[in-house]
């Protein structure tokens, strides 16, 4: 369990010298603000450039404060990690898992309930992102979790929640995952859930709807759920939930089928056929399928006990294996349960928040880039230590990605502390960009790791010339059509933001003229929206996409006068807020016409816009001056920024993320590049590497 790491009441957790994993923190107690090993009086900060006057001097001071703050937050092992905040379904499902396995703990339950109650909105509901609209499934799961914690259904905060749930369709209107959790306790009928047979594990990779047609996050979740779906377990319910049905006598009124010739109609009928198959499935075949699925799960358990470094596959894997006879003392189960404890963040007030995953590799490479942009010397001990840690995190063995790229040599980085099965293209590109700029005493070691990362990323290019996050050519349209898959994006097609980061990395490595880089550039140019923006898959949303693509294009040699670059500049200027910042609400995924580029200003999104404008040669423009002014005027005295809004994306609209380190690293990068711009306004690209070569003047 880790204390909060974002500076809002805690510090970076201690590191275990053996594996770099955070050590447990005492429940309800955060650590002192300065991590162990910080130099007396604080870490070394970069000397400011020759003092200018007025606004520029305020930027210099802001950069110095922010760099000092970020250096102080580095773990002694060399990594950075901010809290990764999502929504209360993580906390609710953690309590439901413990109830199902019979390991409920009063201290954990009380702390989780404290966090869940704190997130409840005035109307009794829960949202999935700060300031967002009420969400039915999140509200149901939070309500059930509070019932498990002992909150009475007639308490005012509970009765408001149940009334809202009934008024918005009740349990019958919830997503499939929510109803699966309820079915585990008899609060919902398994017969009324979509069927996912374990025999799916036997489909070869060339057959539609095989498990490798799904994105890695969905694949890791669906395989254990095929076992759960086949066995349909029910634990005794500790209470009834009649108050969450619109009509408790008819909790799931039958809905008419869509027309047979439509996609929805075809898959609804397929689901009915699978329900029939469930009744007649040959026992030997079903048992063999479940055993094969169990082997698949166990083979993918990481060294720290988790699965893929993310929470949802872990909880379903533990349930599935337990149903197949793995007792709680089995090494696989014991390690899995211990890994879940490391996803817990204990707040100073005693509340406990569950992270969906942890982001140390991503945070560390971005932090290193930000410090370099700020003018920290490339051989600074903190940067060398960060490079050492990143080099040790390189993944040198094949994972699921090799199913579609069997001949490709491994060499990449994942997002988390432990996730050797699923390195990702985005992290690999950004780690390479960071490593290239750090002056490390063992340069041949760095060069070899970079060469492997570049080669692996090039090999993961999809047929259309772009890059997805985890797999190549993971673009089948069928998985998203399944009735089971209503929880968010379940495939991993190429995206503009990931492609941009790879293109910029390739340009920084002297490969701008490589035909594969040019194909990526051509794809990016073709993907520009009519208004001038680019869609952001892994960050919110058009501001993130545009902030990633413009610097990549200019790094790859696209002139700043190119129409695509000018359209992007015009769009960014058109959506700048009156306070000088930029912001974009998660609702832009659902309603781009009303929300694209619109929302309360945030430090990270303002920084993304500035990175694009600086790369486009707009350093002396009014929009940049106003954006820089927003960042300097909103910085706190300790060098940090506040950012309650969610600017990260897991599944567009369906799963939003607040990366607590984004508010620190991206403003520092933007302000640093503003200060250290080359003559004529040429600034570093989004990862801080100039097309002509790395380094900070």
Provide φ and ψ at 300, rounded to 5°: -100, 5
Tokens of 434: 């960071």
Active-site position among 426, 427, 471, 492: 426
H helix or E strand, kind and range, residue 264: helix 263-280
462 DSSP 8-state letter: -
Q: How wide is the angle at C-alpha 670 spanned by C-alphas 665 and 671, nearest 5°?
A: 100
H helix or E strand, kind and range, residue 606: helix 603-615
Can you tell me the distance from the alpha carbon of 290 to that of 19, in angstroms, rounded to the nearest whole number? Answer: 33
In angstroms, what CA-CA distances link 606 with 534, 567, 576, 613? 16, 18, 9, 11
In angstroms, what CA-CA distances link 346 with 11, 25, 79, 146, 301? 11, 8, 20, 18, 25
Active site residue 426: yes
Q: Is 178 helix (H, G, I), strand (E, B) or coil?
A: helix
Sequence-separated contacts (24+) of 293-300 with Cβ below 8 Å: 293/198, 293/201, 293/223, 293/224, 293/226, 293/227, 293/320, 294/227, 294/320, 294/321, 294/324, 296/201, 296/223, 297/223, 297/224, 297/321, 298/332, 300/220, 300/400, 300/421
Question: How many residues comprise the chain?
Answer: 697
Q: Is 256 helix (H, G, I), strand (E, B) or coil?
A: coil
Which residues, 6+ apart, have CB-to-CB distance to 342 below 8 Å? 1, 2, 21, 22, 24, 304, 306, 358
Which residues, 6+ apart, have CB-to-CB distance to 626 below 8 Å? 576, 580
Q: Which residues are catalytic?
A: 426
């Amino acid at each position: 369990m880790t204390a909060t790491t974002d500076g809002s009441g805690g510090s970076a957790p201690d590191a275990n010298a053996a594996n770099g994993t955070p050590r447990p923190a005492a429940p309800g107690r955060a650590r002192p603000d300065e991590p162990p090993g910080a130099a007396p009086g604080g870490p070394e900060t970069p000397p400011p450039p020759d003092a200018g006057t007025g606004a520029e001097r305020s930027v210099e001071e802001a950069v110095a404060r922010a760099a000092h703050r970020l250096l102080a937050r580095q773990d002694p092992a060399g990594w950075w990690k901010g809290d990764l905040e999502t929504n209360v379904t993580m906390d609710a499902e953690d309590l439901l898992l413990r109830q199902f396995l019979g390991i409920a703990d009063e201290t954990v339950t009380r702390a989780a309930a404290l966090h869940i109650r704190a997130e409840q909105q005035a109307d009794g509901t829960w949202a999935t992102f700060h300031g967002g609209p009420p969400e039915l499934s999140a509200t149901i799961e939070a309500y059930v979790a509070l019932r498990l914690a002992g909150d009475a259904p007639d308490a005012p905060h509970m009765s408001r929640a149940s009334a809202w749930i009934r008024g918005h369709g009740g349990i019958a209107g919830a997503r499939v995952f929510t109803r699966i959790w309820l079915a585990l306790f008899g609060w919902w009928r398994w017969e009324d859930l979509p069927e996912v047979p374990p025999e799916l594990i036997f489909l070869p990779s060339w057959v539609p709807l095989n498990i490798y047609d799904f994105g890695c996050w969905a694949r890791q979740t669906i395989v254990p759920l095929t076992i759960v779906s086949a066995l349909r377990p029910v634990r005794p319910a500790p209470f009834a939930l009649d108050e969450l049905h619109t009509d408790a006598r008819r909790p799931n009124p039958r809905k008419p089928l869509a027309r047979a010739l439509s996609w929805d109609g075809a898959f609804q009928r397929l689901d009915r056929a699978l329900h029939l198959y469930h009744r007649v499935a040959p026992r030997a075949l079903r048992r063999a399928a479940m055993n094969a699925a169990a082997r698949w799960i166990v083979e993918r358990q990481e060294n720290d006990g988790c699965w893929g470094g993310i929470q949802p596959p872990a909880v379903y894997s533990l349930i599935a294996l337990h149903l197949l006879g793995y007792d709680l003392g089995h090494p696989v189960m014991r390690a899995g349960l211990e890994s879940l404890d490391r996803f817990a963040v204990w707040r100073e007030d005693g509340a406990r928040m569950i992270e969906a995953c942890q982001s140390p590799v991503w945070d560390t490479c971005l932090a290193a880039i930000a410090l370099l942009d700020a003018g920290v010397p490339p051989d600074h001990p903190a940067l060398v230590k960060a490079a050492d840690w990143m080099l040790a995190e390189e993944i040198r063995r094949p994972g699921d990605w090799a199913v579609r790229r069997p001949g490709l040599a491994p060499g990449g980085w994942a997002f988390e502390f432990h996730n050797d099965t699923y390195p990702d293209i985005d992290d690999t590109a950004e780690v390479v960009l960071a490593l290239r700029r750090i002056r490390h005493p063992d340069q041949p070691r760095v060069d070899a790791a970079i060469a492997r990362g570049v080669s692996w990323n090039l090999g993961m290019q999809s047929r259309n010339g772009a890059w997805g996050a985890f797999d190549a050519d993971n673009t089948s349209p069928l998985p998203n059509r399944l009735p089971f898959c209503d929880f968010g994006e379940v495939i991993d097609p190429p995206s503009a933001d990931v492609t941009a980061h790879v293109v910029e990395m390739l340009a920084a490595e002297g490969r701008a003229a490589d035909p594969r880089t040019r194909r990526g550039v051509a794809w990016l140019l073709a993907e520009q929206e009519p208004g001038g923006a680019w869609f952001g898959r892994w960050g919110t949303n058009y501001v993130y996409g545009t902030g990633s693509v413009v610097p990549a294009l200019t790094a790859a040699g696209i002139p700043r006068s190119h129409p695509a670059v000018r359209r992007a500049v015009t769009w960014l200027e058109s959506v700048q807020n009156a306070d000088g910042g930029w912001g974009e609400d998660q609702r832009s995924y659902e309603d781009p016409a009303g929300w694209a580029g619109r929302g309360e200003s945030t430090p990270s999104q303002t920084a993304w816009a500035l990175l694009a404008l600086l790369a486009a040669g707009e350093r002396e423009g009014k929009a940049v001056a106003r954006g820089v002014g927003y960042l300097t005027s909103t910085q706190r005295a300790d060098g940090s920024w506040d950012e309650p809004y969610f600017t990260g994306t897991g599944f567009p609209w369906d799963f939003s993320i607040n990366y607590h380190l984004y508010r620190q690293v991206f403003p520092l990068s933007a302000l640093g590049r503003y200060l250290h711009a080359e003559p004529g306004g040429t600034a570093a690209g989004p990862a801080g590497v100039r097309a002509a070569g790395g380094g900070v003047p």
